[in-house]
């Protein structure tokens, strides 16, 4: 019976104890939860378990296959790394929210039906927003609200899609969905929001950099990769995803090169890497889906590592703004080494990103998707320029006059977490066979051929060359204290301005209307006054003698009339 339990529940149930445990027990306990869940997942047999009858639907709360296992493994590894990175903080709200968030992502990865998926999908949204709010600043509070609205919106749209899907097919099984049906299209929008499709992406860059230092690391691992998992499960081979993914891989780079907040830069780079995965899902061959799973796996590791290293800088220096950083090479060399390993993992041979990204690029080549392939090749140069060159230069070498408050390496638990992620980035790059062995399909692929290595080195080396030239000629854009307008301009500025304009217009027309009414009333009053006020014709008091006189005149008149009749 125990093997019918979704491993996500282990994390979620385990999280509930975190706030009540005494401090001395809390840290070992938090490490033990993901380790126990990982051991449990290792022992899971392939198949569908945990069936629950709900009205006339059968929920499959645990589906174990190679795709869900790949994501399950990496989610749990990311949980462990994230927990270690956050051990030094005593904020049990963050610990609990982070663990529930991770648990719901794991739960969703092992969900065998759409209703179970929906439940965990919404739980990721609700739990994760506390990691943003935990920063306890007004900006974080506002960004968290926007994040929550969009994430819950994604869940509601997903639910609508599931309901239509159930009505049409009578099934809630979570398998290939496709976009031929209305239900499929609606669900794609819901997943597209979480996956940060172009124009639906902005919650990512808006909210992640506002979260706590440790929260951002956790956030970067789960939500978007859960969406990639859902895409790979439901929409493999959907052609429209190829151009969508290609745009995703390209456009965030233009922002990443000039954005000032370095955690936001990493969020743009994250979006770009998601584009690679979405292209892979769109191609949909076995090689491509293997590439998606492998890339999600290694991407979680090196992106966490980059967020951890920038987080370490933010922790020690108190800022993650390019315009306020520089010269940290002497003060934080370990962080530098870890950062460089994470950056190398994006592009260099014998690091993890190379063995995973090659699968997707090769799948694009084999499928003869020219534009997608071209975009991915160019985008891999661009993301290296940003994460591999611009960021380390800005943090560690850029000349600066900023007075730092504290220049030391970070607490040892943060270094251990970074070290573990860095070790995996190198380990997987050098010895990729275990990763390839857990991928969904059994496809033979050799990442380290001469042409792969040489061509990738050509891209990287010449990107470095151009960067060096630009730095020496002062052509590279220097950082300024600023923000960049984004899609959120429409709902944060345009809609605000429209609302303000409408309010002003309403106020003005109200004022005009009131003025008119007052004017009309004044005219009426004036007219009434002329006839009825004291002294006017109707308002005057008359002596009774007058009345008697006129009555007599009237009666006399009648008499005369009668006489003539």
- Cβ nearer to other proteins, comparing 420 with 479: 479
Structure tokens at 259: 């954005």
Residue partners of 492: CB distance under 8 A and separation at least 6: 146
- Cβ nearer to other proteins, comparing 29 with 467: 467
Specify the 3-state DSSP secondary structure of 140. Answer: helix
Q: How many CB atoms lie within 10 A of CB 165?
A: 22
DSSP code of 397?
A: I
Strands (E), 240-389: none
For residue 112, report the phi and psi dihedrals to the nearest 5 degrees.
-95, -10
Alpha-carbon distance of 318 to 329, in angstroms, equals 16
**Looking at the DSSP assignment, which residues form a beta bridge with residue 220?**
none
- Cβ nearer to other proteins, comparing 475 with 549: 475
Alpha-carbon distance of 81 to 73, in angstroms, equals 12
Written as one string, the DSSP assignment of 101-122 is: HHHHHHHHHT--BHHHHHHHHH
Alpha-carbon distance of 154 to 269, in angstroms, equals 22
CB of 83 to other proteins, least distance (A): 24
- Cβ nearer to other proteins, comparing 43 with 399: 399
- Cβ nearer to other proteins, comparing 189 with 329: 329
- Cβ nearer to other proteins, comparing 31 with 470: 470
CB of 408 to other proteins, least distance (A): 5
Alpha-carbon distance of 154 to 129, in angstroms, equals 14
CB of 224 to other proteins, least distance (A): 23
CB of 316 to other proteins, least distance (A): 11
Q: Which residues bind other proteins (CB under 8 A)?
A: 253-255, 257-258, 326-327, 329-331, 333-334, 336-337, 365-366, 368, 370, 373, 377-379, 381-382, 385, 397-401, 407-409, 449-451, 454-468, 470, 475-477, 480-486, 492-493
CB of 502 to other proteins, least distance (A): 18
Are the beta carbons of 241 and 231 closer than 8 angstroms?
Answer: yes
CB of 424 to other proteins, least distance (A): 21
CB of 475 to other proteins, least distance (A): 7
Alpha-carbon distance of 300 to 284, in angstroms, equals 21
CB of 198 to other proteins, least distance (A): 16
For residue 408, report the phi and psi dihedrals to the nearest 5 degrees.
-140, 165
- Cβ nearer to other proteins, comparing 16 with 457: 457
Written as one string, the DSSP assignment of 183-229 is: HHHHHHHHHHHHTT-TTT-HHHHHHGGGS-HHHHHHHHHHHHHHHHH
Residues in the chain: 565
SS3 sequence of 402-431: CCCCCCCCCCHHHHHHHHHHHHHHHHHHHC
CB of 265 to other proteins, least distance (A): 12
- Cβ nearer to other proteins, comparing 194 with 316: 316
CB of 228 to other proteins, least distance (A): 24
Closest CA to 129 of 155, 110, 108, 106: 155
CB of 525 to other proteins, least distance (A): 45
- Cβ nearer to other proteins, comparing 126 with 466: 466
Are the beta carbons of 79 and 34 closer than 8 angstroms?
Answer: yes
Q: How many CB atoms lie within 10 A of CB 501?
A: 10
- Cβ nearer to other proteins, comparing 232 with 336: 336
- Cβ nearer to other proteins, comparing 189 with 464: 464
């Amino acid at each position: 019976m125990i093997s019918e339990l979704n491993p996500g529940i282990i994390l979620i149930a385990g999280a509930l104890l975190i706030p009540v445990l005494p401090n001395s027990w809390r840290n070992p306990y938090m490490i033990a939860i993901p380790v126990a869940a990982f051991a449990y997942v290792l022992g899971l047999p392939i198949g569908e378990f945990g069936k629950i009858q709900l009205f006339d639907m059968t929920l499959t709360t645990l589906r174990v296959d190679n795709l869900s296992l790949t994501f399950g493994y990496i989610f749990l590894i990311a949980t462990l790394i994230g927990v270690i990175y956050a051990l030094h903080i005593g904020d049990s709200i963050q610990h609990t929210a982070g663990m529930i968030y991770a648990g719901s992502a794991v739960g969703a990865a092992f969900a065998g039906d759409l209703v179970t998926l929906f439940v965990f999908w919404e739980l990721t949204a609700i739990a994760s927003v506390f990691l943003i709010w935990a920063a306890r600043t007004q900006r974080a509070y506002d960004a968290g609200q926007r994040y929550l609205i969009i994430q819950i919106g994604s869940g509601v749209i997903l639910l609508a899609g599931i309901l239509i899907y159930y009505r049409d097919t009578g099934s809630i099984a979570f398998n290939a969905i496709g976009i031929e049906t209305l239900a499929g299209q609606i669900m794609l929008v819901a997943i597209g929001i979480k996956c940060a499709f172009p124009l639906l992406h902005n919650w990512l860059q808006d909210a992640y950099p506002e979260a706590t230092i440790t929260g951002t690391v956790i956030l970067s691992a789960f939500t978007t990769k859960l969406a990639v998992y859902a895409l790979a499960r439901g929409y493999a081979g959907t052609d429209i995803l190829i151009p969508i993914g290609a745009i995703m891989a390209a456009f965030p780079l233009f922002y990443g090169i000039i954005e000032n907040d370095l955690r936001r830069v990493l969020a743009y780079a994250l979006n770009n890497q998601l584009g690679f995965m979405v292209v892979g899902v769109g191609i949909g061959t076995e090689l491509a889906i293997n590439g998606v799973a492998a890339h999600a796996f290694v991407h979680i590791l090196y992106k966490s590592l980059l967020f951890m290293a920038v987080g370490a800088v933010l922790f020690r220096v108190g800022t993650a703004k390019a315009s306020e950083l520089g010269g940290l090479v002497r003060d934080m060399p370990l962080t530098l080494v870890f950062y460089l390993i994470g950056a190398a993992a994006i592009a260099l041979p014998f690091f993890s990103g190379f063995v995973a990204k090659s699968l997707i690029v090769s799948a694009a080549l084999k499928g003869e998707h020219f534009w997608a392939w071209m975009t991915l090749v160019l985008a891999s140069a661009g993301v290296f320029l940003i994460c591999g060159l611009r960021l380390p230069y800005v943090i560690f070498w850029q000349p600066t006059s900023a007075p730092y408050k504290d220049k030391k390496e970070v607490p040892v638990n943060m270094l251990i977490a970074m070290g573990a992620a860095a070790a995996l980035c190198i380990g997987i790059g050098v010895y990729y066979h275990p990763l390839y062995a857990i991928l969904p399909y059994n496809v033979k692929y050799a990442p380290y051929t001469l042409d792969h290595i040489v061509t990738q080195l050509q891209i990287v080396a010449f990107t470095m060359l151009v960067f060096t030239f630009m730095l020496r000629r002062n052509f590279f854009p220097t950082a300024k204290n600023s923000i960049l307008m984004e899609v959120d301009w429409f709902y944060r500025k345009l809609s605000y301005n429209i609302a303000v304009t409408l309010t002003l217009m309403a106020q003005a027309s109200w004022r005009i209307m009131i003025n008119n009414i007052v004017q009309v009333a004044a005219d009426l009053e004036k007219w009434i006054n002329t006839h009825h006020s004291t002294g006017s014709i109707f308002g005057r008091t008359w002596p009774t003698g007058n009345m008697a006189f006129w009555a007599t005149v009237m009666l006399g008149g009648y008499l005369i009339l009668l006489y003539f009749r």
